[in-house]
């Protein structure tokens, strides 16, 4: 019993000593400004690498980094390093392709369902190409030709309502040739009259297709536009 108590007391003393030692060393954990700066740079590299390569094996990464910084012989030859890095990059590329294919397939299915639902509105017209539109306001002006220059106000969204572009937000209409926009736009603009405002749904093959565009328009995204044809310039 006494031995047990002594052992427990000794353990407690060691724990407390370790605690105070850790606290003291934490207060002056950097022996110099250079040590503090070096730690900070290591922390930044670690944060970046952790975000870019979450599956990184920390111990092995630190071993390789330390050996290189100290000028020590690497455990891998130059050829083996290149081979390992190439293998990693190939695996990452394959993973990215798979993720892209999954996103593309989902967008395709979601877009098809959205267009089917939109087409159920009796006021919606579906052109032979697949472009759909609903007349919100009817203008009495002329219709542009494929070589016309037009002035329009527009708002573009994804099917979930996320806005990716808008001349209304910029408080300035856009001006461009009818032939220099996505195919869905080129087609539908030639169906409109000046003064008209339409809600237009463009299937991916007549928008940005499998490549997508920018950060918001993913591969095979169906796009929704409010288009107001102001004038033919």
Give the other-Cβ count within 10 Å of 229's Cβ.
Answer: 27
Runs of H (alpha helix) within 53-154: 58-70, 78-119
Catalytic machinery residues: 154, 164-165, 182, 208, 225
Q: Which of 124, 207, 132 is nearest to 165 (CA)?
A: 207
Nearest 5°: CA angle at 129, between 164 and 230?
Answer: 50
The whole-angstrom separation of Cα 130 and Cα 44 is: 50
The whole-angstrom separation of Cα 189 and Cα 198 is: 10
Residue with tokens 């970046």, as numbered in its chain? 48
The whole-angstrom separation of Cα 52 and Cα 46 is: 10
The whole-angstrom separation of Cα 173 and Cα 180 is: 16
The whole-angstrom separation of Cα 172 and Cα 189 is: 19
């Amino acid at each position: 019993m006494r031995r047990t108590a002594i052992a427990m007391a000794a353990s407690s003393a060691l724990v407390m000593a370790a605690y105070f030692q850790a606290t003291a060393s934490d207060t002056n954990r950097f022996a110099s400004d250079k040590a503090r700066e070096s730690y900070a740079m290591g922390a930044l590299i670690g944060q970046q690498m952790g975000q870019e390569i979450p599956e990184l094996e920390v111990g092995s990464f630190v071993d390789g980094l330390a050996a290189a910084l100290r000028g020590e012989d690497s455990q891998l030859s130059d050829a083996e390093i290149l081979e390992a890095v190439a293998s990693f990059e190939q695996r990452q590329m394959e993973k990215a392709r798979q993720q892209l294919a999954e996103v593309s397939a989902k967008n395709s299915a979601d877009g098809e369902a959205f267009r089917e639902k939109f087409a159920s509105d009796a006021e919606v017209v579906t052109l032979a190409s697949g472009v759909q539109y609903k007349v919100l306001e009817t203008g009495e002006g002329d219709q542009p030709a494929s070589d016309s220059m037009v002035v329009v106000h527009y708002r573009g969204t994804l099917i979930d309502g996320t806005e990716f572009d808008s001349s209304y937000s910029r408080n300035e209409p856009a001006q461009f040739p009818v032939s220099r926009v996505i195919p869905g736009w080129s087609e539908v603009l030639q169906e409109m009259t000046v003064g008209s405002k339409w809600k237009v749904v463009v299937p991916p093959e007549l928008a940005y297709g499998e490549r997508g565009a920018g950060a918001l328009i993913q591969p095979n995204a169906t796009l929704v536009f409010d288009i107001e044809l102001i004038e033919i310039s």
